[in-house]
Amino acid sequence: MKDFLIGLLDWIYKKKCYFCKSSQECVMMCSKCYDEMDFLPAKVNRIIEGKKVYCAGIYAKILQKMIRGLKYHNKKDLAYFQAKFMYEYWQNITDENDFQIVPVPIFHKRKKQRKYNHMELVGIELSKLGGYTYNPDLIERIKDTRPQYKLTKIQRAENLSNAFKVNRDKLQSGKILIIDDICTTGSTFEEMIKEFKKNRLEDIVCLATTTPFEE
């Protein structure tokens, strides 16, 4: 009933595309704007701590606006489209579905302020699309780190040092698939992988929505 009412209100008030402002499809992201997003080649983007890291697209144009809209401007409906973009890319990498989705966690105070973790929302949608297990509690952020985007590579590593803690009692079956929105230097993936390795968890692969660099 709730979904029906939301759909009815969207139809009445003509939800507009966040990108081109068209109300023709009555969705947050119209098919035309979605199709303008370009995928990177379906191959390993980099290796971090011996683990494969894949990046679905370049952080620019519509992809950039989509990520920022979800992350900073409360456009939660964009989580589905971000997950869809990642899933369509991921299907070109593997057709396996034995994964447990682990979104990059944020510190509890920051989550309370923002009222949500954007990558948890993406993880929920990605799990539905692929039939994967959703496991947001396997690892937590125990350090209130500074925002990464203004830091150098060395500063990023220092900022994230000892920032994560694995909860082994939350481990489920399937390969660990860590997901994040942007992979710049890979410091976040690196520190999470190190923490997993400390806990003797080695079956790991990483997937980011975007990267500023094509490698």
> Which bin fits 200, alpha (ψ -120 to 50), beta or left (φ > 0)?
left
* Structural tokens at position 180: 């994040």
Q: Mark the ranges of the chain whose per-residue pLDDT is less than 70.
A: 1-14, 146, 149, 214-215
The pLDDT of residue 5: 62
Long-range CB contacts for residues 198-204, cutoff 8 Å, separation at least 24? 198/166, 199/166, 199/168, 201/166, 201/168, 201/171, 201/176, 203/175, 203/176, 204/51, 204/175, 204/176, 204/177, 204/178
Determine contact, residues 208/48, Cβ cutoff 8 Å: no
Determine contact, residues 184/153, Cβ cutoff 8 Å: no
pTM of the model: 0.90
Domain with CATH 3.40.50 in the chain: 37-211
Domain 37-211 sits in CATH at: 3.40.50
The pLDDT of residue 6: 58
The pLDDT of residue 12: 53
Rounded CA separation 45/53 (Å): 6
The pLDDT of residue 23: 86
Which residue in 134, 102, 104 sits closest to 118, CA to CA? Answer: 104
